[in-house]
Chains A and B, each alone.
Chain A
Amino acid sequence: MKRLQVDFDKCTGCGLCQLVCAVKHDRQFNPVLARIKIFRYEAQGLNLPLICQQCAHPPCAAACLMNVITKDAVTGATVRDQENCIGCRLCQAACPFEGCTYDYDQDVVVNCDLCGGQPACVEICPTGALQYLEIDLVLERARTAEAVKWVSLPEPERSQHG
C-alpha cells in the first residue's frame, strides 16, 4: 500500500501540484478545485500542503449523511461514490486534515484518489516535497526523523556528489 507523503520543509508553495490536480480531475487550471491545498504561513515560514490522509477509520465516513464514503478493500484508500453525494459538506467539517475539497463544478465533495496509483502531483513536484511511498516506509521515515530529533544526533552524512 502506497501513500502520499508530504515533507513540509521542502515545499516552496509553488502550487504546481494544485494546478496539475485540477487539470487531471476537472480539466481546469483552477487551484480551488484541487484536492491538495497549500496553506501558506509566512510567520512560521511554512508552506503546508494538506491532503486526504486516507485514514483507517475516516471521520468523514462517520459523518457522511449518505454513506457514500468507504474504504477500498484492495488499496485501503478512502473512496467516494460521487454520484450519490449531496454536497452537504459535513465531511469537510469532520476532517481535521482539510482532506475534503468542495467541487464547485459538480457540487459534490471530493478527496484525493491517489490518481489510481500514479499521483500527478508527485510527478510534477519540483522539490520532492510530495512523495508516493510504501506505507511502512512513511512510518519508518517519521520514526527516524523523530528518533534523530530526540537523541540529537547529527543527521547522517550525505554524499557530496548526491
Chain B
Amino acid sequence: MADIIIIGNGAAGNSAAATIRRLEPELSITMVSREQLPAYSACALPDYLSGWVKREQVFIKGWQDYRDMRVEILGGRSQVQIDTDRRMVRTEGETIPYGRLVLATGSRPFIPPVPGAQLRGNFSVKKIGDIDALIDHHSRQAVVVGSGNIGIELAQALHHRGSKVTLVEMQEQVLPRILDPEPAQRICKILNAGGIEVLTGERVVGIDGREQVEKAVTDQRAIPCDTVIWASGMKHNVEEAQVAGIAIGDLGGIKVDEHLQTSCPGVYACGDCIEPLDMLTGQATVSMLWPNAKRQGEVAALNCVGRPHPYEGVLNMVTEEVCGVPLASLGLTTKALPPDRVHYIEGETWERYWRIMMVQDRIMGMQSIGVTAGLGAVMAMIKNRLPLSEYKRILSDPGLTRQAAWLLPASQLLTPHHSLGERFFT
C-alpha cells in the first residue's frame, strides 16, 4: 500500500514527489518509472551529444536522493495497469493499492509512417539511451527532420561533432511553434551562416537504403545521408490512462480540470501527458516544456494532498542558443492570436532584434534574438496581465517608477526602435 503512487520519473513526477514530501513528511510515496535510471534532464541531451556536458551531468538526481526523500522507486517497469475502481496499480508482477495517483507519463517522439523509417540509422531523441546510440553511430552526414527546439539543438550538436547536417522542415519556416515567420527567417540565416543547411517547405516522404540509411527522400530531392533524426513532434503517453477509462481530450492528452484532476476522482495528471489550459487564451493546448511540467507537478501534488490549488495555465517560455546567438520566445506567437486584432511592437538595434505581440492593450508574446536584457520584465508583464497603458502611466510618474523600477528594463523594448547602425544579424 502506498499513500501516493506517481507514475513517471521525469520533470513533473519528481516535482510532484518533492512537493508532497515537503508538505507531508509522513505519506508514503511510490514512483513507477519506465527506465531503470535516476531522473535526468531531457533538455540537456543535445548538450550531451555535442560534448558540452558529460553524461553524468545530464542526471539531476542519484539513487541516494530518492532514499533521502523516502520515495520508493520501481524502475524498469514498462507494463503498468491502472485499476481506478479498486484503486490499484499493477506493474510486472506487483499489485500496489494507492490512496491517490499522479500520472506523469510524459511524451514520446512521433515518427511519421514513411517507408524506411525502421532502417538502421533512424533515430529519435527523448531518452538518454537514444543519445548513447547516436554517439555510437558516428554520423558523417545527417538529416534532421523537423525544426522545433529539439531539431535545432540536435542539428547544431551533430554539426559540432563534425557531421554535415541538413535540417528539413515541413512548414515554411523554422521553429514554427515558437517564432513568427520574420524572426524565423533571421534564425534561418544564422543557422546557414553556422554551416547548417536548412530546407523549409519540404516533406520527407521516405528513407532509402538497403540495411542502413543511405538517402532521405523529400518531395523535392534526395539527400544522401547515413543518419536520420526524427524531431518532427511529440505524442502524449496516454495509453495506460486510456485503458483505465480516464478521459482523453481532443488534442490527444489526458483531460484535466483546473485542479489537474483527471475525469477519475483521486487521479491527478501533470506534465507532457496532459492537455492543460493556456494562461493567455484560456483554451486547451499542447505544451511540452520543462518549466510547465515542473509547475504542473507542484500543483498536482498540492491538490493531491488536499490543499486545493488551481492551476494558472501554461505560459510558454523557450530559450535557445542558435550558433552562439541567444533566442527567446515567451508567450504566444501570432498564429495563436486572433489575426485581426494582433499588432506588433518591433525593434532592432545592433545587438538584438525583438518583436512583441499585442492584442489590444495586452502583451501576449515576445520573440527576441540577441541580448536578453529586459526579457524578465516583459515576462512579468505578460504573467501579471499588465496593460501597456498602465505601464506607460507608471513610467510617466516618477514616484510610481521608483516603486516598480524593476519594470524599467522593458521600456526600451516596448518602444518601436530601429537603429541605423550596422545590422548584426544578416
Contact = CB atoms under 8 A, between A and B. Distances in A.
A65 B317 contact: no
B200 interface: no
B251 interface: no
A149 B397 CA distance: 14
A89 B326 contact: yes
Contacts of A46: 401-402, 405, 408
Nearest to B379: A93
Given A48-B408, A96-B377, A98-B409, A9 B53 contact: no
B408 A39 contact: yes
Contact of B376 (A64, A92, A149): A92
A148 interface: no
B299 to A, nearest CB: 12
Given A89-B326, A92-B375, A93-B375, A65 B290 contact: yes
A87 B294 contact: no
A65 B409 contact: no
B401 A44 contact: yes
B408 A66 contact: no
Contact of B294 (A8, A41, A62): A62
B402 A102 contact: no
B41 A92 contact: no
Q: Chain A's interface: helix, strand, loop or mixed, by majority?
A: mixed
A96 B402 contact: no
Given A65-B43, A66-B44, A87-B321, A96 B405 contact: no
B319 A95 contact: no
Nearest to A63: B291
A67 interface: yes
Contacts of B317: 63, 90, 93-94
A88 interface: yes
Q: Which one of A45, A63, A96, A100 has the greatest number of beta carbons of chain B within 10 Å?
A: A96
A44 B376 contact: no
Contacts, number: 98
Given A66-B60, A97-B406, A90 B379 contact: no
B346 interface: no
Contacts of A66: 41, 43-44, 60
Interface string A100-128: 10100000000000000000000000000
A44 to B, nearest CB: 5
Interface string B26-53: 0000000000000001011001000011
Contacts of A9: 402
B373 interface: yes
A98 B376 contact: yes
A93 B372 contact: yes
A8 B377 contact: no
Nearest to B57: A84
A102 B370 CA distance: 13
Q: Which one of B47, B291, B321 has the greatest number of beta carbons of chain A within 10 Å?
A: B291
B114 to A, nearest CB: 31
26 contacts: A39-B409, A41-B408, A44-B395, A44-B401, A45-B398, A46-B408, A48-B405, A62-B294, A66-B44, A66-B60, A84-B57, A88-B319, A89-B319, A89-B321, A93-B317, A93-B328, A93-B330, A93-B375, A94-B291, A94-B379, A95-B376, A96-B376, A96-B377, A98-B374, A98-B406, A102-B326
Given A87-B321, A96-B407, 9 more contacts: A39-B373, A39-B408, A39-B409, A48-B408, A66-B60, A86-B52, A93-B317, A93-B376, A102-B372
